[in-house]
């Protein structure tokens, strides 16, 4: 009887040992699973970090190429080092480098607003095809008449058959006799580069008035009838938009708003960082492409003009984003 009790005790102890062993194995298994999960998470974070670093490196590649003195401490510094001597941005070399391989005729103009010494140009006085850049002096003449009290912007205009023009803009799809305010015609002429709205507005203010405005602003290469202009003339137009006392704050705001988030954002805007405001106007004809405007870059607003003539538009268009990107980062670093 005593032996039987001893056997039962041994069996009981053996079962407890087996249960303890099973529990230990289960705990070890759960620990291994948890380690595996942590390893997967760590690998995922490392992979994501490397991907972000690779993207950042590629994004800044052109920035480093255009200025070999740039360092990561420069880029991520939130405060300029005022102890360093001022170095004029090397914009001339950037313009030459970008345009050196391009065929056709190119003209460029860059000007930091508020500083007459910070201005760079290439072929800036060369008369080239204006395309829809010619709408700019017409719209500024319109606002000149508004400021003089000769035009009421709320006046209703009835669309006539002779106003209709194919190409850019939505007004061409409206019925003859449909109405639009003068202000809307001006907005569409800039924002959509609407040819019908532009034609109607030109009839309202007359070619004579536009030519008088062109002369008053000293636009020596801009000719309404021949549809020509120059990078220098377009630079003067945007300087007038930016700070001319002849424009009231209300008119200036209307013009800049109309030149913002336009129907054509595939040139200069593509090269600028997201959130940077640009008010600009493009031009396109069979063998001509252009973009020009004001870049509102924190405390360093600047005018950017690039006109290409005798080129293939699809290929030439690719240069504009490269141009705006290089100029922006070069100026930002100084």
The domain limits of the chain are: 2-59, 65-76+90-332
Residue 279 near residue 268, CB atoms below 8 Å: no
What's the pLDDT at 273? 95
What's the pLDDT at 59? 46
What's the pLDDT at 167? 74
3-state secondary structure (DSSP) of residue 41:
helix
Closest CA to 144 of 205, 225, 235, 221: 205
Going by C-beta distance under 8 Å and a sequence separation of 6 or more, which residues neighbour residue 302?
A: 110, 111, 112, 113, 118, 294, 295, 327, 331
What's the pLDDT at 314? 87
Question: Which class in CATH covers the domain with range 65-76+90-332?
Answer: alpha beta
C-beta atoms surrounding 310 within 10 Å: 13
* Lookup: tokens for 167: 């190409």
pTM of the shown model: 0.74
All residue ranges of the chain with pLDDT < 50 are: 2, 16, 27, 52, 54-55, 57-85
Tens digits of residue pLDDT in 128-185: 999 999 999 999 999 999 999 999 999 999 998 888 887 776 777 787 888 899 999 9
What's the pLDDT at 53? 55
What's the pLDDT at 276? 95
What's the pLDDT at 69? 39
């Amino acid at each position: 009887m005593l032996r039987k009790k001893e056997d039962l005790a041994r069996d009981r102890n053996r079962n407890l040992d087996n249960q303890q062993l099973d529990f230990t194995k289960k705990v070890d298994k759960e620990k291994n699973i948890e380690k595996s999960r942590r390893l997967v998470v760590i690998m995922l974070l490392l992979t994501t970090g490397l991907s972000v670093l690779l993207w950042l490196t590629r994004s800044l590649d052109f920035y480093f190429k255009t200025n070999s003195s740039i360092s990561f401490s420069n880029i991520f510094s939130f405060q300029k080092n005022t102890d360093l001597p001022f170095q004029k941005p090397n914009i001339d070399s950037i313009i030459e480098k970008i345009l050196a391989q391009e065929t056709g005729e190119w003209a460029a103009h860059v000007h930091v607003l508020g500083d007459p010494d910070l201005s760079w140009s290439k072929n800036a006085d060369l008369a080239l095809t204006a395309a829809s850049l010619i709408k700019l002096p017409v719209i500024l003449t319109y606002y000149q008449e508004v400021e003089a009290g000769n035009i009421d912007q709320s006046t209703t205009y009835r669309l006539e058959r002779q106003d209709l023009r194919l190409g850019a803009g939505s007004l061409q799809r409206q019925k003859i006799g449909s109405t639009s305010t003068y202000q809307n015609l001006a907005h569409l002429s800039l924002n959509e580069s609407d040819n019908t709205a532009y034609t109607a507005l030109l009839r309202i203010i007359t070619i004579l008035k536009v030519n008088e405005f062109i002369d008053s602003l000293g636009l020596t290469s801009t000719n309404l009838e021949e549809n020509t202009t120059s990078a220098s003339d377009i630079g003067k137009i945007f300087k007038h938009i930016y700070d001319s006392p002849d424009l009231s704050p209300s008119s200036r705001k209307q013009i800049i708003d109309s030149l913002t988030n336009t129907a054509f954002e595939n040139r200069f805007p593509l090269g600028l960082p997201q959130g940077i405001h640009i008010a600009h106007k493009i031009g396109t004809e069979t063998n001509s492409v252009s973009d020009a405007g004001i870049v509102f870059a924190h405390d360093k607003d600047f005018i950017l003009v690039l006109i290409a003539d005798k080129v293939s538009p699809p290929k030439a268009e690719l240069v504009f984003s490269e141009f705006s990107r290089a100029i922006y980062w070069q100026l930002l670093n100084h």
